[in-house]
Structure 1
Amino acid sequence: MKKCLLKIRREIRKIKNGKRNSNGMDKVMIILSKTHSSKIHGRSLHDQLLLLYIKMNLPQVKVKDVQQIDTARFTRFIQNQMSALPHLNNPKQLAIALASKYIKLKDQPKLTQSVILGKDVRSNDQNKVVPLPTLLKNNYIYFLGTGNNHQVVQRVLSKRNEWISTNNKNDSLINFRWQQTQKGYQYDRLLQSNKIKQAVNHFEFHSEISQKSNLFRNLQQYCEENQLDILSFVPLTFVLDFTTEKADIWLLQFLQYYENNAPQSIKLHDSQNKFYIIRRQLNTYMQITDKIIQINKSKIPSTFYGHEYLWILKPTQYNRGRGIHVIKDLDQMTHLLDQYISGKQQMKDGQIIKSKQFVIQKYLEKPLLINNRKFDIRVWGLLNQDLEFFFFEQGYIRMASEEYTTKNVLNQYVHLTNNAIQKYSPNYGKLEDGNQLSFDQAATYFKNKGDFYKQIVENIKQISLKAFQSVRKKINVLGRRYCFEIFGLDFMIDDDFKVWLIEINSNPCLEESSPLLQKLIPRMLDDAFSLTLDQIFPITKKQIVFSVPNYSDNHNMWQKLGKLQ
């Protein structure tokens, strides 16, 4: 290996002394491409070559500047340039790619520095090259986890010239981590005093609002403290947590409400269900819950009741429609709970879902429909590093693929509007691109019913802020710096044009599954980063490319609704 390095150095000297034409560098690069990732004096061979190449071929960068560069940081910088090249995970692959790029661009001397460093480091003055130490100082490194269309995040970050990516999630120099989950995040390192500033895209305790049971509990407490009626904007909800000693009480509370309000035909059918037997065994708790049940009973709007007396069962820790079932009787619910608790519930994709925590909600049996089909509304909320809550001005309507009916509760294409569910329907995309409509299309459709923006969207904003205020003391209780998060909030409208909060999701779907989302999602991310990343890690200028009709490119589409306090 040492002989190989000496050979490379000889080739470079020959070029420098005029004894070898420019094709000599091609030969050097090809020699490098044939080597492995062995290290000499603690530095990989490709790093050795790049240092030599900079000294010889970039006269604007003085040799003393190169020598003054922190070797470890420079090596890390080169490694991150390597990771920015797709699928190149070792020095040998990088060398091959650099050789190919060098040979292709050797006749364009202005691009030489860009080819080697992975960026054009010239300033606005095309004849002035930024010194290499300045280049390294002003760059930020990000790690991007895969999945959930992570490519759109990469596309947005690529418009910020200071940001470069790494594939090494353990890199100590990472400034920003974006992952689907917070697994592996070291929140104790998110301190302002740290030498390497780092931001992450999840709050440490986001489950206080993104987990269905926690959302309801926190909202319930917030409403009690502020004399608000939770049942005026959240469906009647019961939490069943079979990991706690209070599970019997919560189950009894649900069963008592269920029995008191069930049609006679359903009461007769369910009378021998084992949950009814449990109810009788827990008779000692009856008076504790009677008053609560009576209050709830009097406040449920008629739109939640049809002819079928339907409920909806949701495991608390899943999203995108996974594990959700519409329930028409206790036998069905008993079977599903047994399946989930024992880990026998299997999804269509083969995934096994196991859970001991659930929410049971009264099903909205009289929803507002579009062309006789059910829909819900997805909006985005942003909580930034200063606990300021923002609302993205445009969301979208998610349509079911089949006409609404309460007769068949097993047909998910009727009842669940998540794109992750609907995309498997034979009718998916036949009536709308990606089964989606814009807010403007919804406003036009409902113009005879009411003002969609003033009555629906404004109400959604108010409810969203209440939801996040309910976790103001919990979502960042340890005061971590540089956390921010984008959430997906789901709402429904009943037949009386009233808005209901269904759930709030961490890691909302970023799939650009329609022309509408191809416009909204990149802009949503770009404007979110302007309020978060660009404030934590200042940039010189970004390229504006994510246009949305009827909005100026310079307008940030995130509307600040308030600060959590």
Structure 2
Amino acid sequence: MQQNILSQKKIKYVENIKNHHYYACIPQKGNPNCSDKEKINLQNESSLSQKTISNNSYSHQSNGTYYKKHSIIFRELRSISNQSHNDQIDDIPKAFIFRIKSKNHIQNEPLIIENQEQKDKDRKTKDLAKVLRDMKKKRQEYTQKGQFVPKSPIPLLKHQNNKIQEDLSTEKSQNQVKKLPKIYTKQAPVIIEVLEQYEPLSKSSRLQGNGIGEDPFQVKLTRYYQFLFKFQCNHLFYVKQSQVRSQSYYIEVIDENEIIIKELMRKRWWWCEQIEKTDDVQFYWSKRSNSQFLQKQKIRVLFDESQNKVVDPFNLDNYEEQIKFAIEHKLALISPSGRLHNHIEINQLIGFKKNFIKFLEQYASLLNLDLFQYFPYSINISSQQDPKLNIFLTQQKNQNSLWIVKPGEWANNGLFMKICQNVKQVYDFIISEFKNQDHNFETLVIQKYIKPLLYYKRKFDLYTYLLISQINGVVRVYFYDEVYGRTSSKEYNEQDLDPLIHFTNSPIQKESKGFSLQEPGNKLSIDKLQEFFVQFKLNFKETMIPQLKAIAIHAIKAVFTHLVVKDHNFEIIGLNYIVDQDFKPWLVELNLNPSFIPDCQYHQKVITQMLDNALYLTIDLIYPPPSLWPSNKKQLIDRFNLQNKFQPLIDSRFDSEMLIELFEKK
């Protein structure tokens, strides 16, 4: 009975001391003649003499023995501890060691570890130093693998709980992200791409789940690589990352047209600008195409059956996965040594209006389309004896309409155009121009004037851009969704032939004293257009823009099979639409070399983002940024806005074969 009281007091004494590990060793043979206080002091000295090694898994006794600590809680001990009759503690074997962990355990309950006699037997066959070396080696291996090695059950439970919460949050975020639908089909080549939304990076999510932050710069750079890899897959190639990269470019400066592109290239710090004019650069930008530069490029076929495939790289968030994916899908590895130009050989197809009209007529006849449901009635006159001129006079003599006459060989951006009130004025102007020996054109184009829908009594048109890219033999055509309006400075009057009334082109409107008085730069944002069309119960973004895209598709398909494909180039084309009084859009002109000189702050924002998006889809694919950024350049990553507004219209992998077969029927 006296020994039972001693055991009870000893356990209670040890439990009162907090935040340390204590070992209450109950002797196998107790002296009943000793006082309670002496026994407690004796036992306390024994526990304080213990030395705990660094891994906290073994306790080293003063007598040379060691004991392994276990977290196995015996239900019998708990039940016995709560018994009102303390004499039942004698049922516990005296050779066990009690361990109180008041800090790491929720309840201060005594824990039981293995029998001392068994440890004494193990000591005879095992070397303590060897065991400790093995334990240290094992812990180092876990540390190198980045695994969590808890010293007690509580941290382990916390780690498991964090892991569960991380998995739940990752699954929830994945369900909220739209996945890229695989809807490429040879029969119905529709292309949809979701670019603004990205799946959270798994590595970043894992680190954040463990309370560890990741470098924001690395997160943004990884997203940028992920963005570029998606478009590289569209062109069926990939580029290996490099730590350091340096390329040269040359910008042929003529006027203010190149200011924005120079700024966009400066933020791509891994490019080096060449001051003196040279063709020996990786990227050549000029207002007009450089034929010598284009001649050095590799010629590709428009349709390659081996490229007729879809590669969807969705949910690849690190470089190793991307390389593995590229190899599995047999993507071409392109070394960053290609040459790029901001022009393709398309001037003869679109820049020359006489040729463009011919291709449109041929395309419409093959598809049995009414060409003049999308484009204004137009004819090309090569001389004053041209039979088409007499046909025009006969067919249109009773038409009460205005007419526009413009050169047929080169884009004029609204310049050198003549507006006529009737057929007779058209005839007189054409005859006088052909008689003029100083004229610098071969043909003239007659185009019917579309009676416009007015923006508060003034004429306006719609303007946006096309991007044609030729990379790795794949030709893609994109439509820029940020459509904006251009207004005239004077009120509309059909009887007044003042160019400031009828032509909304900036070079003409800037000559007016009323320029920029009613709208900044005489420009209407897409939101302003949306508000304007609401009064007619029309949703501009949902009803008008799809029609603009459909017309653009017909225009490009008419010349698509005549493209000369080379690696690697692109072309930006301006699209000029007129909306008539019945709310029907008409494509009145395609402009090569559109002006990039902003007329207002909004206009500058549109042009800057459009050109930046064009560089994303072209030169950044061939020459992505290096993986190592100097510390003074890392802030530039914030200037790479990945909200791309170029939407794909045509892809040579799926459209070229059908168009080639169509034009072979002629």
TM-score by length of structure 1 reads: 0.61
What is the match of residue 389 of structure 2?
A: 251
Counterparts in 2 of 1:417 and 1:185: CA distance versus 1, 3 Å: farther
1:406-485 alignment to 2 at 5 Å?
Answer: 406-409=494-497, 411-449=498-536, 450-476=538-564, 479-485=565-571
Deviates more, 1:137-146 or 1:195-204: 195-204
CA contact (8 A) 1:199 1:482 kept: yes
What is the match of residue 284 of structure 2?
A: 177
What is the match of residue 59 of structure 1?
A: none
Q: 2:379 aligns with which of 238, 245, 256?
A: 238
CA contact (8 A) 1:519 1:546 kept: no
CA contact (8 A) 2:245 2:626 kept: no
Distance in 1 between residues matched to 2:363 and 2:478, nearest whole Å: 20
Q: 1:161 aligns with which of 257, 269, 282?
A: 269
Measured after TM superposition, the shift of residue 340 of structure 1 is 3.6
Distance in 2 between residues matched to 1:248 and 1:139, nearest whole Å: 56
Structure ID, larger Rg: 2
Measured after TM superposition, the shift of residue 392 of structure 1 is 1.0
**Ranges in structure 1 where 5+ consecutive residues have no aligned partner:** 1-122, 125-133, 263-307, 346-352, 548-552
CA contact (8 A) 2:336 2:623 kept: no
SS in 2 for 1:253: helix
Distance in 1 between residues matched to 2:556 and 2:502, nearest whole Å: 27
Deviates more, 1:134-143 or 1:380-389: 134-143
Specify the code of the residue in structure 2 equivalent to 1:380: Y
TM-score by length of structure 2 reads: 0.52
SS in 1 for 2:465: strand
CA contact (8 A) 2:575 2:591 kept: yes
Distance in 2 between residues matched to 1:380 and 1:475, nearest whole Å: 19
What is the match of residue 234 of structure 2?
A: none
Distance in 1 between residues matched to 2:242 and 2:269, nearest whole Å: 11
Measured after TM superposition, the shift of residue 395 of structure 1 is 2.1
Distance in 1 between residues matched to 2:426 and 2:259, nearest whole Å: 40
Measured after TM superposition, the shift of residue 339 of structure 1 is 4.8
What is the match of residue 388 of structure 1?
A: 476
Distance in 2 between residues matched to 1:362 and 1:171, nearest whole Å: 43
Counterparts in 2 of 1:425 and 1:344: CA distance versus 1, 3 Å: farther
Query: Are 2:463 and 1:378 aligned?
Result: yes
SS in 1 for 2:386: helix
**Ranges in structure 2 where 5+ consecutive residues have no aligned partner:** 1-216, 219-240, 300-333, 628-633, 657-666
What is the match of residue 7 of structure 1?
A: none
Q: 1:367 aligns with which of 439, 449, 452?
A: 452
CA contact (8 A) 2:244 2:626 kept: no
What is the match of residue 38 of structure 2?
A: none
SS in 2 for 1:225: helix
Query: Are 2:293 and 1:200 aligned?
Result: no
SS in 2 for 1:375: strand
Distance in 1 between residues matched to 2:343 and 2:256, nearest whole Å: 15
The size of the alignment, in residue pairs, is 368
CA contact (8 A) 2:284 2:342 kept: yes
Specify the code of the residue in structure 2 equivalent to 1:238: I
What is the match of residue 402 of structure 1?
A: 490
Measured after TM superposition, the shift of residue 470 of structure 1 is 1.1
Specify the code of the residue in structure 2 equivalent to 1:397: G
Specify the code of the residue in structure 2 equivalent to 1:441: K
Q: 1:554 aligns with which of 642, 654, 665?
A: 642
CA contact (8 A) 1:148 1:509 kept: no
Distance in 1 between residues matched to 2:639 and 2:552, nearest whole Å: 26
1:448-527 alignment to 2 at 5 Å?
Answer: 448-449=535-536, 450-476=538-564, 479-527=565-613
1:304-323 alignment to 2 at 5 Å?
Answer: 308-316=400-408, 317-323=410-416
Counterparts in 2 of 1:176 and 1:341: CA distance versus 1, 3 Å: farther
Distance in 2 between residues matched to 1:136 and 1:464, nearest whole Å: 41
CA contact (8 A) 1:142 1:164 kept: yes
Query: Are 2:351 and 1:210 aligned?
Result: yes
Measured after TM superposition, the shift of residue 384 of structure 1 is 0.7
What is the match of residue 421 of structure 2?
A: 328
Distance in 2 between residues matched to 1:184 and 1:480, nearest whole Å: 12
CA contact (8 A) 1:188 1:480 kept: no
Counterparts in 2 of 1:563 and 1:148: CA distance versus 1, 3 Å: farther
Identity of aligned residues (%): 29
Counterparts in 2 of 1:330 and 1:496: CA distance versus 1, 3 Å: closer
Measured after TM superposition, the shift of residue 498 of structure 1 is 0.3
Counterparts in 2 of 1:137 and 1:249: CA distance versus 1, 3 Å: farther
CA contact (8 A) 1:191 1:197 kept: no
CA contact (8 A) 2:469 2:571 kept: yes
| CA deviation vs aligned residue, 1:113-149 (integer Å, no higher than 9, x gap) | xxxxxxxxxx99xxxxxxxxx9997211111111352
Distance in 2 between residues matched to 1:468 and 1:221, nearest whole Å: 13
CA contact (8 A) 2:393 2:423 kept: no
Counterparts in 2 of 1:148 and 1:334: CA distance versus 1, 3 Å: farther
CA contact (8 A) 2:242 2:626 kept: no
What is the match of residue 188 of structure 1?
A: 295
| CA deviation vs aligned residue, 1:275-295 (integer Å, no higher than 9, x gap) | xxxxxxxxxxxxxxxxxxxxx
The RMSD of aligned alpha carbons is: 2.7
SS in 2 for 1:504: strand
Distance in 2 between residues matched to 1:334 and 1:544, nearest whole Å: 58
| CA deviation vs aligned residue, 1:373-428 (integer Å, no higher than 9, x gap) | 0011111110111311111110210101101111112x001000001100110110
Q: 1:145 aligns with which of 252, 264, 276?
A: 252
Specify the code of the residue in structure 2 equivalent to 1:363: Y
Deviates more, 1:451-460 or 1:189-198: 189-198
SS in 2 for 1:474: coil
Specify the code of the residue in structure 2 equivalent to 1:311: W
